């Protein structure tokens, strides 16, 4: 398939999305409802991951590095 421009390619992708989810058979207002629900769910997922994922990753890294690096310090302290 040759797409004349990017917009046509995006339109084809939207068509595939309509076919795969089965939205193609619904009336336009039902399509809008489904699209808005899906869009809001995806937006919430992106927002949550943007806000919480870096903090959780940093805490996890600190936890694991705390386990591996705390051991040598305590034995040295005991010997001294």
Partner 1 sequence: MKNGPGTGVASRQHRQESFEQAPMYVAVMTYLGFGIVTLFGYFRDFLRAVGIEKCHLAQEREEQKDFVPLYQDFENFYTRNLYMRVRDNWNRPVCSLPGPVFDLMERVSDDYNWTFRLTGKTIHNAINMGSYNYLGFAENNTDFLKTVADKLCQYGVGVCSTRQEIGNLGIHEELEQLVASFLRVESSMIFGMGFATNSMNIPALVGKGCLILSDEVNHTSLILGARLSGATIRVFKHNNMHSLEKMLSEAVCSGQPRTHRPWKKILIMVEGIYSMEGSVVRLPEIIALKKKYKAYLYLDEAHSIGAVGQTGRGVTELFNVNPADVDVMMGTFTKSFGAAGGYIAGKKELVDYLRSHSHSAVYASAMSPPVTEQIIRAMKCIMGNNGSTEGIRRIRQLAENTRYFRARLKEMGFIIYGNDDSPVVPILLYMPGKVVAFAREMLERKIGVVVVGFPATPISEARARFCLSAAHTRAMLNQVLHHLNEVGDGLCLKFSRLKYSSCPDLHEETDSELGS
C-alpha distances (whole Å) from 42 to each of 19, 36, 48, 51, 59 are 20, 10, 10, 14, 25
20 binds partner 1 (CB under 8 A): yes
27 binds partner 1 (CB under 8 A): yes
1 binds partner 1 (CB under 8 A): yes
C-alpha distances (whole Å) from 56 to each of 46, 62, 65, 80 are 15, 10, 14, 36
Near partner 1 by CB under 8 A: residue from 21, 32, 36, 65: 21
Would you say 13 or 45 has its CB closer to partner 1?
Answer: 13
Near partner 1 by CB under 8 A: residue from 10, 16, 40, 65: 16
Q: Which residues bind partner 1 (CB under 8 A)?
A: 1, 12, 16, 18-27, 30, 34
């Amino acid at each position: 398939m040759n797409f004349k421009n990017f917009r046509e390619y995006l339109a084809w992708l939207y068509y595939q999305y309509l076919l795969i989810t089965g939205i193609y058979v619904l009336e336009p207002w039902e399509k809008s409802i489904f699209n808005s629900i899906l869009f809001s769910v995806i937006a919430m997922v992106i927002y949550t991951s943007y806000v919480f994922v870096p903090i959780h990753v940093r805490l996890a890294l600190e936890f694991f590095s705390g386990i591996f690096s705390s051991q040598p310090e305590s034995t040295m302290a005991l010997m001294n």
